[in-house]
C-alpha cells in the first residue's frame, strides 16, 4: 500500500505544505506556530483479524464469484471502511478502532449483484454498498455485526460502471451505478450531452452514490439535484429486483422512485440508474459581483430565485471567505482570481466607504439555442438595489478552474496538525442570517474551536425560491492527543446550532453515522413507521447497511 | 334535488342542444339523425336503503360531529358516489346499481378529520375521501363493503377549504385540502401570485384531489404537474398524522412526500398541502402555428423540449381535431378563433399544395421580470424546419377563453344520445405516431365505436423532453340499451391499444376503478409488495378507499 493511499484524488496531484506558501504564512502568523508534518496513518491498522474459518465460510457463501471479484486483503478492507471526511482521516491517523468488513466483493454485472444480495441474505451476511467512497458524513462507517456469525461484506460497485444506453431522442441515459463522474461526463460529452452534475467529489464519486445520498452538483440550481435528475431506477433487494415506473410524470399510481433517493443503501443496492441529460451548453456567461454584506447578497439571490432565474453556478461568499480568498486563495503568481478580487474590493471599499465586509458572488448562466441575455440583464440590473457592484468575470472563471482542488489541501493541512472540516445545511431564506450569526457566535465561544483563533467561513452555493444551501468551512489548530474529541465537540456544536436555528441537518452530504442523531430527532414518527415497514418487507433479515438512517 | 344536479358546473351556464347549432347540424348530417332529449337520471335511484339501525350506529360512531357535518340524505349519498366521467353520467342515467356510502361526513377542521379517521378505524367503517368529485376514471366508485358491519362513509373535504398561510418570502402557500381551484387562485392572485395549476376541472376540483390523482394543469409544461408543485403535505392516517419533510431538496434521508402523490386516498386523508407558488406573470405571449401533419408538429415540440423551452400552454391538435374545430368549434358569430383558423388553413393548403392535413398548434409563454423573447424567437425560427407556418395568435387567445367550457357540452350531448368520452396517456416521443395510428385504425374497426361513423380526435397537451401527453376525444352515437357495454368495449379497446403501444395508462386522470386492471398488469411486483407493506402499517384495518390501486 502506497503511503499516500488514504489521500484524496490523483496521486500525481498531491500537494505539500510548501505548495501553499500564502496559506502557510498566513496561518503560521495567525497561530504563532511553525507547521510540522505530524500526522499519518499507521502502516498497519489494529483491525479485527480475519480468521481462516471466517474466510472459508465467506468463500463458500460467495463461491460463484471469481477470485478477482472477492478480496480479503487488509488494505482493501480498511479502504472501504471509511469515507473522505476530516473525521475519517483523523480516525485513520489515530488508528481509531476502525470496524472493517471481512470481505470486499466487486461485482461487474447485475447478475453478480443479485447473486451477492441473495447469498448475503440467505446467510445473514451484513452488506454495505460502496461507490467512490467519498462520503464525508460517515455513510460508510460500520457497526460491529451483532448477529451470531458476525459476517460483514462490502459490495464495491466501482467495477460495475458501464453505459447501458443513451436515448438521444428522449434525453435520457442509463448507466450502471458504479460509474464515476468523469467517465459518465466523457461518454455524454462525446455525444453532445451533459448530466450537469458536478459535486466537489465529482472526479471520485459514483452515480449510484449520488442517488443514495441525495447529492447536489455545483450547477444544481439549473440542472437540478440528483433527485430531480434521476428518471428511473433499478434496485436489487433481498426479495427481488425492483424497477420504478417507466415515466416520472404520469398518473399511474404512486411512483416509488423517490423512496430510494437518499436511502443510503438500507432498502437495496441501486444497480442501474436512468438519468435525464441535457444538451451541452454552447457557451457559459459569468456574472460576478461584490455586495456590502452577506445579508445584502443573500437577499439579492432570494429575489433572483423568486423571479425564476436559472443560473447554473451560484456562489455567494461571506466576508470571511471573501477576505481569506483575497489573502491566500491563489498560491500562484499569474494574474488571477485573487488579484482581481483584491482590486475590486479596494474599489468597492472606496465606493461604499463605511462598508467593510465585502462579499463576493459568482454566478454562471449556461446558454444553448436561445440567449440568456434577458436573464443576465435582469440579474445585473438588480445588483444595485442591494448596493452591490459588478466585478470582472475572471473571478468566476478562476473559481471554475480550481473547483475540484480543495480536498488536496485538506489532506496536507491534516498532516500538519490543522483541523479543517466542512459542513452544510439547507435553510429557509428568512433564517440564513440567523444561522450564520449563531454559528459565528457559538464558535467564537468554543474551546474546541480555539475560540477567536478559529477561522469560520460560509458561502451560499445552491438556491431555491424558498431556501439556500449554506456551506461552512472551519479551520483551527488541532488539539493534539484529543483530535477525536475535538471533532465531536465541534460537530455537535455546529449541527445543534444549525438545527436549532431552522436549518436541516444536510442539504447534500446525507445522514450517515455523523448526522443520524439529528435525523432521528427530527424524523416524523408516523413516517418512521412507514420507513421501517418498507425495510421489513424489502430486507427482512436486516442485512443491508445496518445501523444507518432509521435502522 | 334540482333535475340538473348531475351536470357539470355552474347551473346558470347550462347549455341546450340548440346552443350548439353548428355541432348539431354537423353531427345530424353525419349520422343521418335528429337528436332528441333521451337521457336523464331517474328521480329516485335504486340504491341500497339506509336502515334506521345503520343510521343509529353511524350516528353513535361519529357522535362528536355536529349535525351540519353529517348527512344521510339519499341525494348526498348518490352525489358523492360517482365522478364526472361519461361512464359516471351514463350509469346515473341508467340507474346502474350505484353503490353509495351510508353517510357523508363534512369536516371543517383538521381535528374533525382526525376524529373521523380514528372513529372509522376503530369501528371498521370504510372511508372514501372526496374533494370536488370531478374525477373521470372511477376514483370515487365504491365497492360493497365485505366486512361484517358493512359501513361506508364518504369524507367530503369541500368545507375544509381555507388558506392556512402564504409565505411570500419563500413563495409557498399552505391550504386546507378541500379548497377549490378558483378560491385558491383568487387568494393567491390578490397577493400577486399564482399556482399555475389549471386542469380542465379547475373550477370544481380541489387541491387535495389534484395531489392524490397526480393532476396536471393546462400550463404544467412551465408550472409543473402537481407532483412538482407540492412542497409539503400533512396526511391523517389511522395510526396518526404524518408530515413530510420540511424541505424537498435536502439530503436528510428519504422524503416520503411523493408516496402520497397519486395515492388516491388509500394511505390516508391528505389534509394540508403546502405548495410552491409563483409571481403572477406580467404578460403572456402566444405563438400559434399550423403544421402539415401531426407528426411534423410533434417532432417540432420534441425539439423544443430538448432545448429547454418552457412554454406554459402547449397544445397541438391532430388533423381531425383541427378540422372539427374549423367546422364546429365556434358556435357564435363573432370574428373568432375558428374564422381565423379557417382562413389560415386555406392559406396553408395553398402554400403546401399536396398537404391536406393541417394541424394547429398553440403555445403560450408567460413573462415576468425578464423577457421571454429569445425563447419565442427560437420557437418561431424552428417552425419552418418542420414545414409549418405561423398563424395569428388570436387562435390561442380564443382557446384560453373557452378552455373550461367543454364539460357543459358533454352533458348536453349525453342527454341527446351521443357517446362522448376523453382518454389520455403519457407516451415517449418515439411512440406518439404509433399510438395515434393504432387508435385510429382500431377504432375504425370497432363496432362499439360505430366504425367510420365515430369521430376520433387527438391533441398533445403537455410536453417533456422524453414524452408527450396525448389526449383523445371520442364521439359516436350511443348504442341504445347497451350504453354501458358500449362504454366498456371502447374503454377496453383504447386502453389496451395505448398500453400495447408504449403509453402509460394515465398522464393526469389517475387510476381509479376504470384503469385498475392495466395498472396492476404493469405494476412492478416488488414495488407492489412495498405498497402493500405501507398500506398495512398506515391502515391496518383496511378502511381507506378499499379496492383502489393495489388494494
Residues on chain B touching A214 (C-beta within 8 angstroms): 250-251
Residue pair A230/A211 in contact (Cβ under 8 Å)? The answer is yes
**A237 contacts B254? CB cut-off 8 A:** no
Give the span between the Cα atoms of B436 and B318, in whole angstroms: 9
- What is the reported pLDDT for A147? 67
- The CA distance from A123 to the nearest CA of chain B, in Å, is 21
Based on its alpha-carbon atoms, the radius of gyration of chain A, rounded to whole angstroms, reads 24
- The CA distance from B165 to the nearest CA of chain A, in Å, is 14
Name the residue of chain B whose CA is nearest to A167's CA: B466
**Whose CA is closest to B386, among B433, B435, B352?**
B352
% of chain B beyond a pLDDT of 90: 82
- The CA distance from A38 to the nearest CA of chain B, in Å, is 35
Task: Provide the whole-model pTM.
Answer: 0.95
Name the residue of chain B whose CA is nearest to A281's CA: B307
Smallest Cβ distance to B250: which of A378, A506, A530? A506
Q: What is the mean pLDDT of residues A182-188?
A: 98
Three-state SS string across A152-189, please? EEEEEHHHCCCEEEEECCCCEEEEECCCEHHHHHHHHH
Give the span between the Cα atoms of B151 and A446, in whole angstroms: 62
- What is the reported pLDDT for B333? 47
- What is the reported pLDDT for B402? 78
- End-to-end alpha-carbon separation of chain B, Å? 34
Please give the sequence-ordered ranges of beta strands (E in DSSP) within B295-357, or none if there are none. 314-317
CA dihedral B172, B177, B182, B187 (to 10 degrees): -40
**B276 contacts A251? CB cut-off 8 A:** no
**B369 contacts A250? CB cut-off 8 A:** no
Q: What confidence tens digit (pLDDT) does each residue in B455-499 have?
A: 999 999 999 999 999 999 999 999 999 999 999 999 999 999 999
**A529 contacts B537? CB cut-off 8 A:** yes
Is a pLDDT exceeding 90 seen at residue B268?
Answer: yes
Q: What confidence tens digit (pLDDT) does each residue in B252-266 have?
A: 999 999 999 999 999
Residue B408 pLDDT level (bands cut at 50, 70, 90): confident
**A507 contacts B250? CB cut-off 8 A:** yes
* ipTM exceeding cut-off 0.90 for this assembly: yes
- The CA distance from A461 to the nearest CA of chain B, in Å, is 13
Is a pLDDT exceeding 60 seen at residue B198?
Answer: yes
Rounded to the nearest integer, the mean pLDDT of chain B is: 93
Give the span between the Cα atoms of A19 and A29, in whole angstroms: 17
**Length of chain B measured in residues:** 551
Residue with cell 459535486: A199
Residue A110 is inside which H or E element, if any?
helix A110-122
Rounded to the nearest integer, the mean pLDDT of chain A is: 93
**Whose CA is closest to B535, among A533, A526, A539, A258?**
A533
**Whose CA is closest to B473, among B452, B447, B454?**
B454
- The CA distance from A492 to the nearest CA of chain B, in Å, is 17
**CA distances for A142 relative to A41, A87, A154, A501, angstroms:** 19, 14, 10, 30
What angle do the packed helices B373-383 and B294-306 form, to 10 degrees?
Answer: 140
- What is the reported pLDDT for B345? 66
Grid cell locating B61: 360512531
Q: Which residues pair with B364 in a beta bridge?
A: B286
Residue pair A353/A331 in contact (Cβ under 8 Å)? The answer is no
**B504 contacts A246? CB cut-off 8 A:** yes
Based on its alpha-carbon atoms, the radius of gyration of chain B, rounded to whole angstroms, reads 24
Residues on chain A touching B264 (C-beta within 8 angstroms): 253
Residue with cell 404520469: A250
**A506 contacts B252? CB cut-off 8 A:** yes
Q: What is the mean pLDDT of residues A161-189?
A: 98
| Phi, then psi, of B156 in degrees rounded to 5 | -95, 115
User: A231 versus B146: which is more confidently predicted?
Assistant: A231
| Phi, then psi, of A454 in degrees rounded to 5 | -70, 145
Q: What 8-state DSSP symbol labels residue B80?
A: T
Smallest Cβ distance to B171: which of A257, A368, A465? A465
- What is the reported pLDDT for B506? 97
Q: What confidence tens digit (pLDDT) does each residue in A311-367 have?
A: 999 999 999 998 887 777 666 544 455 566 666 666 656 555 445 688 999 999 999
**B538 contacts A253? CB cut-off 8 A:** no
Grid cell locating B17: 342542444
**Whose CA is closest to B288, among B314, B256, B319?**
B314
Give the span between the Cα atoms of A511 and A518, in whole angstroms: 9
- What is the reported pLDDT for B398? 79
**Domains in chain B with CATH codes:** 175-279 (3.30.465.10), 283-403 (3.40.462.40), 407-514 (3.30.300.330)
Q: Which residues pair with B477 in a beta bridge?
A: B418
Burial of B216 by CB count in 10 Å (0-12 exposed, 13-18 middle, 19+ buried)?
buried
- The CA distance from B106 to the nearest CA of chain A, in Å, is 25
Residue pair B219/B312 in contact (Cβ under 8 Å)? The answer is yes
Residue with cell 409565505: B167
**A374 contacts B374? CB cut-off 8 A:** yes
Q: What 8-state DSSP symbol labels residue A106?
A: -
Residues on chain A touching B192 (C-beta within 8 angstroms): none
**A252 contacts B216? CB cut-off 8 A:** no
Smallest Cβ distance to A429: which of B169, B368, B508? B169
Residues on chain B touching A368 (C-beta within 8 angstroms): 307-308
Q: CB count, 10 Å around CB of A57? A: 17
**Whose CA is closest to A392, among A340, A351, A357?**
A340
Smallest Cβ distance to A530: which of B227, B510, B537? B537
**A547: number of CA atoms within 13 Å, CB side?**
18
Residue with cell 350506529: B57
**Whose CA is closest to B215, among B488, B509, B486?**
B509
Residue B334 pLDDT level (bands cut at 50, 70, 90): very low
Smallest Cβ distance to B506: which of A251, A430, A538? A251
**B374 contacts A249? CB cut-off 8 A:** no
% of chain B beyond a pLDDT of 70: 94
**B370 contacts A466? CB cut-off 8 A:** no
Q: CB count, 10 Å around CB of B346? A: 12
SS3 call for B387: coil
Residue pair B269/B113 in contact (Cβ under 8 Å)? The answer is yes
Give the span between the Cα atoms of B100 and A278, in whole angstroms: 50
Is a pLDDT exceeding 60 seen at residue A301?
Answer: yes
**Whose CA is closest to B278, among A466, A442, A118?**
A466
Residues on chain B touching A377 (C-beta within 8 angstroms): 370
Smallest Cβ distance to B374: which of A254, A370, A506? A370
Q: Which residues pair with A125 in a beta bridge?
A: A151
**A534 contacts B536? CB cut-off 8 A:** no
The pairing of beta strand A359-367 with beta strand B269-276: unpaired
Smallest Cβ distance to A242: which of B250, B309, B527? B527
Residue B304 pLDDT level (bands cut at 50, 70, 90): very high
- The CA distance from B101 to the nearest CA of chain A, in Å, is 24
- What is the reported pLDDT for B307? 94
Give the span between the Cα atoms of B71 and B153, in whole angstroms: 10
Name the residue of chain B whose CA is nearest to A221's CA: B249
Tell how far CA B191 is from the center of its chain. Answer: 27
Q: CB count, 10 Å around CB of B525? A: 11
**A372 contacts B378? CB cut-off 8 A:** no
Please give the sequence-ordered ranges of beta strands (E in DSSP) within B292-388, or none if there are none. 314-317, 359-367
Amino acid at each position: 500500500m502506497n503511503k499516500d493511499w488514504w489521500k484524496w484524488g490523483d496521486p500525481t496531484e498531491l500537494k505539500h505544505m510548501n505548495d501553499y506558501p500564502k496559506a502557510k504564512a498566513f496561518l503560521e502568523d495567525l497561530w504563532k506556530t511553525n507547521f510540522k508534518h505530524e500526522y499519518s496513518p499507521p502502516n498497519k491498522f489494529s483491525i479485527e483479524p480475519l480468521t481462516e474459518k471466517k474466510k472459508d465460510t465467506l468463500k463458500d457463501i460467495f463461491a460463484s464469484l471469481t477470485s478477482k471479484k472477492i478480496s480479503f486483503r487488509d488494505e482493501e478492507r480498511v479502504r472501504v471502511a471509511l469515507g473522505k471526511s476530516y473525521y475519517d482521516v483523523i480516525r485513520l491517523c489515530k488508528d481509531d478502532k476502525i470496524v472493517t468488513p471481512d470481505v470486499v466483493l466487486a461485482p461487474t454485472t447485475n447478475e453478480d449483484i443479485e447473486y451477492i444480495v441473495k447469498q448475503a441474505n440467505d446467510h445473514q451476511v451484513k452488506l454495505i454498498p460502496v461507490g467512490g467512497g467519498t462520503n464525508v458524513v460517515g455513510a460508510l462507517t460500520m457497526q460491529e455485526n451483532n448477529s451470531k456469525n458476525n459476517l460483514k461484506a462490502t459490495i464495491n460497485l466501482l467495477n460495475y460502471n458501464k453505459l447501458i444506453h443513451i436515448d438521444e431522442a428522449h434525453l435520457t441515459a442509463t448507466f450502471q451505478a458504479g460509474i464515476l463522474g468523469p467517465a459518465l461526463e466523457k461518454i455524454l460529452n462525446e455525444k453532445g450531452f451533459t448530466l450537469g452534475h458536478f459535486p466537489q467529489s465529482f472526479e471520485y464519486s459514483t452515480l449510484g452514490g449520488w442517488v443514495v445520498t441525495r447529492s447536489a452538483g455545483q450547477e444544481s440550481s439549473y440542472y437540478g439535484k440528483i433527485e430531480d435528475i434521476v428518471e428511473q431506477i433499478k434496485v436489487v433487494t433481498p426479495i427481488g429486483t425492483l424497477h420504478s415506473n417507466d415515466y416520472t410524470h404520469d398518473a399511474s399510481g404512486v411512483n416509488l422512485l423517490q423512496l430510494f433517493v437518499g436511502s443510503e443503501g438500507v432498502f437495496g443496492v441501486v444497480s442501474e440508474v436512468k438519468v435525464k441529460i441535457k444538451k451541452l451548453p454552447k457557451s457559459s456567461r459569468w456574472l460576478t459581483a461584490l455586495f456590502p454584506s452577506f445579508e445584502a447578497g443573500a437577499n439579492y439571490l432570494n429575489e433572483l430565485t423568486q423571479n425564476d432565474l436559472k443560473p447554473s453556478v451560484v456562489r455567494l461568499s461571506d466576508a470571511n471567505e471573501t477576505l481569506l480568498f483575497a489573502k491566500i486563495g491563489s498560491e500562484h503568481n499569474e494574474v488571477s482570481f485573487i488579484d482581481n478580487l483584491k482590486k475590486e474590493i479596494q474599489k468597492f471599499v472606496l465606493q461604499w466607504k463605511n462598508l467593510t465586509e465585502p462579499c463576493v458572488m459568482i454566478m454562471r448562466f449556461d446558454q444553448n439555442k436561445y440567449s440568456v441575455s434577458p436573464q443576465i440583464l435582469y440579474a445585473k440590473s438588480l445588483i444595485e438595489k442591494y448596493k452591490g457592484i459588478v466585478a470582472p468575470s475572471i473571478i468566476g472563471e478562476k473559481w471554475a478552474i480550481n473547483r475540484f482542488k480543495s480536498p488536496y489541501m485538506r489532506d496536507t493541512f491534516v498532516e500538519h496538525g490543522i483541523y479543517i472540516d466542512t459542513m452544510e445545511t439547507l435553510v429557509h431564506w428568512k433564517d440564513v442570517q440567523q444561522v450564520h450569526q449563531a454559528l459565528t457566535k457559538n464558535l467564537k465561544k468554543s474551546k474546541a474551536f480555539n475560540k477567536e483563533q478559529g477561522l469560520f467561513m460560509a458561502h451560499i452555493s445552491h438556491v431555491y425560491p424558498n431556501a439556500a444551501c449554506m456551506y461552512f468551512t472551519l479551520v483551527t489548530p488541532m488539539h493534539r492527543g484529543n483530535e477525536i474529541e475535538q471533532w465531536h465537540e465541534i460537530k455537535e456544536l455546529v449541527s445543534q446550532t444549525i438545527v436549532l436555528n431552522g436549518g436541516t441537518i444536510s442539504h447534500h452530504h446525507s445522514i450517515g453515522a455523523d448526522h443520524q442523531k439529528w435525523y432521528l430527532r427530527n424524523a416524523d414518527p408516523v413516517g418512521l413507521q412507514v420507513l421501517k415497514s418498507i425495510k421489513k418487507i424489502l430486507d427482512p433479515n436486516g442485512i443491508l447497511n445496518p445501523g444507518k438512517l432509521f435502522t
